[in-house]
Structure 1
Amino acid sequence: MMSPNRPELTAFTNWHKATVSADDNACVEVATDATGWTAVRDSTDPTGPVLMFTPKEWSAFLDGARKGEFNL
């Protein structure tokens, strides 16, 4: 369900990716707006689709990643 408070994509101006990303730049980029929403996009397609997460959703994802919940 999409939140009615979802920010416009133009609010995300400072995109960054991990410093250990591959040399071919095949990575994801992340940006956070002033309200705490996080946007994620494919670094090889910066005008393509963007996933957007509320602060609570992004925090839960990062917590799970740190705990290894997504490891195969």
Structure 2
Amino acid sequence: MAESMTSQPLAGWGKPDLDLTEAQWQSSSRGVGDVQIAFVEGFIAMRNSERPESPSLIFSPDEWHTFVRDARGGEFDLT
């Protein structure tokens, strides 16, 4: 499925091996937090802003929508 979305070779977990060197990274709307995201070739990349050299997570649009919905619903709250 992802293969038809991009001409890039697929990396592990069926995700493309995206070139993120020119990605336009965005922080949260409040300008705080440790996470940045970028929209690249139909996928969403997420990285740690304090360690941008570390590996990025790559989400398909469906995975991203599920993640955001669950985060807004408190799925990942520690309390």
Tell me whether the two structures share a fold, i.e. TM-score over 0.5: yes
For 1:70, what is the secondary structure of its paired residue?
A: coil
User: What percentage of aligned pairs have identical amino acids?
Assistant: 29
- Runs of at least 4 residues off by over 3 Å: none
TM-score where L is the length of structure 2? 0.68
CA distance in 1, matches of 2:37, 2:18: 15
How many residues are matched?
66
Query: Could you say which structure has the greater relative contact order, defined with CA pairs below 8 angstroms and 6 or more residues apart?
Result: 1
| Contact 2:20–2:40 (Cα < 8 Å) also in 1 | no
Q: Structure 2: which 5+ residue stretches go unaligned?
A: 1-11
Change (3 A) 1:34 1:54: same
Is 1:2 matched up with 2:49? Answer: no
Q: Find the aligned partners of 1:12 and 1:51 in 2 and give their Cα distance.
A: 16
Distance change >3 Å, CA 68–CA 12, structure 1 → 2: farther
RMSD: 2.1
Q: Indicate if the aligned counterparts of 1:30 and 1:40 stay in contact, CA closer than 8 A.
A: yes
Picking from 9, 27, 41, the partner of 1:17 is: 27
- For structure 1, which runs of at least 5 residues remain unmatched after alignment? none
TM-score under structure 1 length normalisation:
0.73
